[in-house]
Amino acid sequence: MAAGLVATGVAGRPEEYFAADHLAAYKKDLGLPVDCSWSEYLTRVRAFAATQNGVWGFKIHWRDVVSLAQALGFRADPGAVLETLFPTAVFVNIVRLDRRAQAISLFRAETTGEWFRSPGPPTTERPWGLYLGRPTPQRPAVDLAAVAPTREQITEMERSLGAEQAAWTDYFTTRRPEVLTVHYEELDENYPDEIARVLQFLGVDPAHATGVPKPPLERQSDHINEHWRRRIDDEELRYPVQ
């Protein structure tokens, strides 16, 4: 979703600027020292993440909201950091209905260190954003047959993902009701239509989504994910939790 919005040229440049694992890389991309102040970083992010029509945005997980809140002194109330820094923001909430598939994909990404698979652009131009413009790091091969997840591991990931979504749902319900929900499955099936729906929600001409293709990424979910899913589903049927 974020890369597609970047590609429209009118929906800001939403990326994971506040993800703890990516902060150092974004500071480098934005020409900032790694020890720059939060004020400096926020100013640079706002400037970079805006398109000419004044729209700017970012992608953030609830766990990163919590980290940002702790860094800026909002420990008792993580949601307050969003209201303080971004008081006029509207939200697009991406939800994957098949949480088990999401958990299995997350397990695989964490195990292999491969969060996306792309050769990177052939030039310095980055039409899909800074993150997807980085070449795929070289990593040692992981024998996926030897690291198959247990039912307990996937169940715990499902619980964690559910808790994050519950935190967002509570935040939207009680404090920021202006939100558009996009289902991952619908986005995967009808990418340009969902991008257009988001543009309309943002008050931008949805025609800018016409012809926007999916980012040039290889699908990572394959027969291995399917095998893991079948095994865990079968185990759950044979040995249900009492």
| Residue 46's CATH number | 3.40.50
Geometric angle at alpha carbon 125, from 210 and 50, rounded to 5°: 65
Q: Is the model's pLDDT at 47 over the cut of 90?
A: yes
Mean pLDDT of 227-237: 92
Domains in the chain: how many in total?
1
Which of 189, 188, 213, 209 is closest to 197 using CA atoms? 209
Lowest mean pLDDT among 125-139, 167-181, 225-239: 125-139
Q: How confident is the model at residue 120 (pLDDT cuts 50, 70, 90)?
A: low
Between 62-71 and 151-174, two packed helices, what is the crossing angle to 10 degrees? 70
> How far apart, in whole angstroms, are the C-alpha atoms of residue 101 and residue 188?
14
pLDDT-derived band at 223 (thresholds 50, 70, 90) equals confident
Contact 105, 220 (CB under 8 A): yes
Q: What is the mean pLDDT of residues 145-154?
A: 87
Q: Return all residues near 135 (Cβ < 8 A) that are at least 6 apart.
A: 119, 120
Statement: residue 13 has pLDDT above 50: yes
For residues 18-30, give the mean pLDDT: 93
- In percent, the amount of the chain with pLDDT more than 70 equals 85
DSSP secondary structure letters along 106-144: HHHHHHH--S------SSS--TT-HHHHSPPPP-----G
Question: What is the model's pLDDT at position 97?
Answer: 96
Between the CA atoms of 87, 93, 208 and 43, what dihedral angle is there, to the nearest 10 degrees? 40
Residue range of the domain that includes 124: 2-238
Residue appearing with tokens 């997840």: 149
pTM for this model (two decimals): 0.85
Separation CA 175–CA 79 (nearest Å): 9
